[in-house]
Structure 1
Amino acid sequence: MTDLRIEQVDGETALQDWRHVHNTIIPTAVLSLDEVRESARRNRLEVAYLGDLLVGCSTVRPPTGDSSTATVIARVLPAHRRQGHGGAIYARGLAAARELGAEVIETVVLASNPEGLRFAQAQGFTEVERYLLPGDSVPFVDLRLN
């Protein structure tokens, strides 16, 4: 895991890179560039590179209102999995969520991504709910950190 660089999305190239990773891993909920821009206003979005090679991204949805729950999502492109990158991306997202005041941490994984589910469970998450978005056939899995 040499030279892994994780940085906050800032600028068009980073927005496009984040979108590429998201849409590759979540093909049932493809986002437009405008939707990613809107998400970046509400959430902390980061991209991860090995040198100059894009390997992953993350989303931290901060606690809102009276809630102390944040959502931390780490995504790694398939060719770069099982090399420690997901753990580094997740650890950084978890630290950011804690800095934002989160007391409860959740994540969400597409049910058709067994590697992502295993990763979340290995980090200490347990499933709390499965649901389908309108028009979808593959459920999302919400998990909570124990």
Structure 2
Amino acid sequence: MTSGLRIVPVTDDATLLDWQRVHNEIIPTAPLSVDDIRERLTRNVLEVAYDGDVLVGCSTVRPPSEETAAVTVIARVLPAYRRRGFGDAIYQHCLQRGQRLGDTFETQILASNEDGLRFAKAHGFVEVETYLLPGDTIPFVELRLGE
């Protein structure tokens, strides 16, 4: 199922562009430029997931900040590769990374991503708030683990 899964850090242009592709496909309302992603790399752990050589997803682990005491973990899987165990493997990987940074976890999911919301809730996340970015029409849902 996920035996060929490789999760690698964003370290070069190829992995950066793969991370961007997954992010922007799953969050079309808030696309990120290459420069946006490079800036995020200065403060977050960004990784890309491959099944062998095939891009299947990406992840973000964001340390606690002034805005939140929680570690943010985000696992994204391209729609064509969902329901094959990749999301769970990426999420578990993120959680292990995040445990080095804190013990409270949250995630943010675009409200229109029903698969992502269902996945998060099935893994113990509960909705704590929804928010709309300036100019957007689809809100993000913030969820916290074990609230």
Q: If the length of structure 1 is used for normalisation, what is the TM-score?
A: 0.96
Mapping for residues 101-116 of structure 1, pairs under 5 Å: 102-116=102-116
Give the aligned length.
145
Paired residue for 1:137?
137
Mapping for residues 1-146 of structure 1, pairs under 5 Å: 1-64=2-65, 68-100=69-101, 102-146=102-146
Q: For 2:7 and 2:134, locate their aligned partners in 1 and report how far apart those are by CA, in whole Å.
A: 33
* Deviation of 1:103 (Å): 1.6
Give the 3-state SS of the residue equivalent to 2:42 in structure 1: helix
* Deviation of 1:14 (Å): 0.5
The structure where helix makes up a greater share of residues is 1
CA RMSD across the alignment = 1.2
Give the AA of the match of 2:83.
Answer: R
Give deviations 1:68-91, integer Å, cap 9, x for gaps. 411000000000000000000000
CA 1:134–1:83 in structure 2 vs 1: closer, same or farther (change >3 Å)?
same
Deviates more, 1:62-71 or 1:114-123: 62-71
* Deviation of 1:67 (Å): 5.7
Gapped regions of structure 2 (runs ≥ 5): none
Q: If the length of structure 2 is used for normalisation, what is the TM-score?
A: 0.95
Give the AA of the match of 2:125.
Answer: F
- Structure 1 segments of 4 or more deviating over 6 A? none
